[in-house]
Amino acid sequence: MATIPETKISSSEGALPVPVIAMGTATELSIAGIDIVTPSTLIEAIKVGYRHFDTATIYNTEKSVGEAIAEALKLGLIKSRSEVFITTKLWCNSADRHLVLPALKESLKNLRLEYVDLYLIHWPLKLNQEEFKYPVPNECIAAIDIKAVWEGMEECQNLGLTKSIGLSNFSAKRIEQILSFAKFPPAVNQVEMNPLWQQKKLTGFCKENSVVVTAYSPLGAVGNSAWGHNRVMECEVLQDIAESKGKTVAQISLRWLYEQGVIIAVKSFNTERMKQNLDIFGWSLTKEELNKIDQIPQRRHIYLIGSMNTEHNDIFAEIDAELD
């Protein structure tokens, strides 16, 4: 079984250790309500060494994560709840001050847990719809009152229902706004990041402000037709480096991210690839290889405007302009 290094994030208990690789659980099918992320798959992940699981209300995978943790405890794969780190997220339809706490309580019910380790605001916007429908109608999209919502997040941390709170898909401008009034500053910002979308400006800002970055879509979200692409796996620079080192392209991409000092949320439901994705320690990229990766042309993929199919310009223009 692989041993995964840890980093630390701010929390109500001081510096909180976090495994630097998380098992992601978002799929197009799970969001559509088709149960593809099963507890048995997550049990396999625990067996090979994963101890950090990234879920969200909108993913419809919280129940599977909870069942997997319960079964892992029963089987003796883990000895206590504290051996796993659980991240989940506040969906946009609960982005109101009075809805934050009930939303987390519902997530905890799904997860069968008394607390999560990290709770994130999923997107910097509000959706006025009880059930997620795709594409989102323009009339359902509204601006978020971030100060009020952050107060709700801080309440959750004060109550011990989450150890840390943070953000997902937030710009430097938005983070700076929160830092100006936060009693508990955001511990994490989870964003799209890989060698083809390196986020240097945003990650630099986060580092300066002690906000740890988590990278999602580290391999381009391959296999998800709505938002996935093969550009990372087909990148010639990464392929050449992988061949010269006897590694996979995925391992080169993940190792590059690890060397940037970020947490990585990677997803595979194939046991062998799960193992390969953890085999990125004990070796490193050379300065020459890092320089080659730095020169890769940059192109963002997860465009919120595109995924939402909306022209709500006032809200989305700021998000898209700043997330680079």
d(CA 58, CA 69): 20
Which stretches in the chain have pLDDT values below 70? 221-228, 301-324
Residue 312 marked ligand-binding = no
Give the Cβ contact number of residue 3 at 10 Å: 10
Q: For residue 306, what pLDDT is reported?
A: 40
Q: For residue 309, what pLDDT is reported?
A: 41
Q: For residue 13, what pLDDT is reported?
A: 87
d(CA 144, CA 286): 43
Residues annotated catalytic, as ranges: 59
Q: For residue 222, what pLDDT is reported?
A: 53
pTM equals: 0.92
Whether cis (ω within 30° of 0) applies to the bond prior to 135 is: yes
CATH code, residues 6-322: 3.20.20.100
d(CA 221, CA 107): 24
Q: For residue 321, what pLDDT is reported?
A: 45
The string of pLDDT tens digits covering residues 8-28 is 999 988 999 999 999 999 987
